[in-house]
Amino acid sequence: MSEGAQAQLGGGRDAACPVPNCPIPVDLILRSSDKVLLGAHKANLEHFSDGFPSVDSVSDSEEPVDLSEDGATLKLLLSGMHKQKLPALTGLEREQLVALAEAGEKYFVYGVMAACSERIRAESRMPWDGATAATYFAYAMKFGYLEIADTVAPFMIPFNVDFLCGRLKGYDVAFIAWIRYREQYVAISDILTRNYTARDLFDSVNFVPCSAWAPYLTGIRKRLPMSVQGHLQLLNGAKFDRLEWIFKDHQYLLKECTCERCSSAACRWKERWQEASWDIKPFSSFM
Ligand SMILES: [Zn+2]
Ligand SMILES: [Zn+2]
């Protein structure tokens, strides 16, 4: 890749603009956290960003300005401050994408901010692991992208509370909102593990169901996780199909029912958690 305009400043140090064949003269040198020197244009920094430590703050522009971002991030950021298409973000690793997004927010490079948040929004709809969800969630909370937080929050239902508390240091409102969001699923776990006795489900104190009921009840209870954490894992992604399947899977046992009340009792049990699931509110409604 050919480099753009070169500058020889500060005793022979040279640094090129990261945009290939850029015709604009380099009049400022930036140094990344990993000591990469990059050529920049004061006018572009002024024009495309707010808050870049550039023109006014640098009295001796022959000395490189140290920034806390790494070289790869700064290259992309500076490329985004030219009259040209923004660099493609599709191939970026998750860490690199978030680092660029954070740099864009920090220096108010509006084009980069918008491109990165759009990219992260798109990525957040794909299936992923918990670590990715936590990274995007922390980014969304830091910079107020509630829609992204709503998309990733379902994948964080089984998260350990202390782990997320660590990830959201300084964002107490978001942490408390997440606890309240998660609590909705804890309540479903509660519904699944309580209120399943014959007395509850047959709406009668004295009614004794027929012999079909006990195997049905035992079968489902055996398949349901025996802990809150297990239930949160079962509902990860805010998906109820696995739970639905457990109930469906045992329906055949009620074919032998002779009391004619087992099926409606089974429906009642299912309805309790289904109704709770329909009432689930998105994460942002707790903010
Ligand atoms: Zn340039
Ligand atoms: Zn029955």
C-alpha–C-alpha distance, residues 62 and 79, integer Å: 21
Mean pLDDT to the nearest integer, 146-152: 95
Contact between 246 and 223 under an 8 Å Cβ cutoff? The reply is: yes
Centroid of ligand 1 to alpha carbon of 154 (angstroms): 42
Centroid of ligand 1 to alpha carbon of 39 (angstroms): 8
Express each pLDDT in 18-30 by its tens digit: 999 999 999 999 9
pLDDT exceeds 80 at position 127: no
Q: Which residues surround ligand 2, an ion (CB under 5 A)?
A: 210, 212, 257, 259, 262
Q: Which ligand is nearest to the CA of 15?
A: 1
Centroid of ligand 1 to alpha carbon of 44 (angstroms): 8
Centroid of ligand 1 to alpha carbon of 49 (angstroms): 14
What pLDDT was estimated at residue 195?
63
Express each pLDDT in 40-99 by its tens digit: 999 999 989 987 764 555 555 578 889 999 999 999 999 999 998 887 888 899 999 999
Express each pLDDT in 170-201 by its tens digit: 999 999 999 999 999 999 999 888 767 777 88
What pLDDT was estimated at residue 244?
95
Burial 235-247 (b: 16+ CB within 10 A, else e): bbeeebeebeebb
Q: Which ligand is nearest to the CA of 25?
A: 1
Structure tokens belonging to residue 266:
């089974």
Mean pLDDT to the nearest integer, 228-233: 95
**What is the model's pTM?**
0.82
Distance, first Cα to last Cα, the chain: 47
Q: Which ligand is nearest to the CA of 264?
A: 2
C-alpha–C-alpha distance, residues 158 and 225, integer Å: 13
Centroid of ligand 2 to alpha carbon of 117 (angstroms): 55
The CA–CA distances, whole Å, from 238 to 3, 180, 243 equal 48, 15, 11
Centroid of ligand 1 to alpha carbon of 95 (angstroms): 25
What pLDDT was estimated at residue 23?
94
Centroid of ligand 2 to alpha carbon of 259 (angstroms): 4
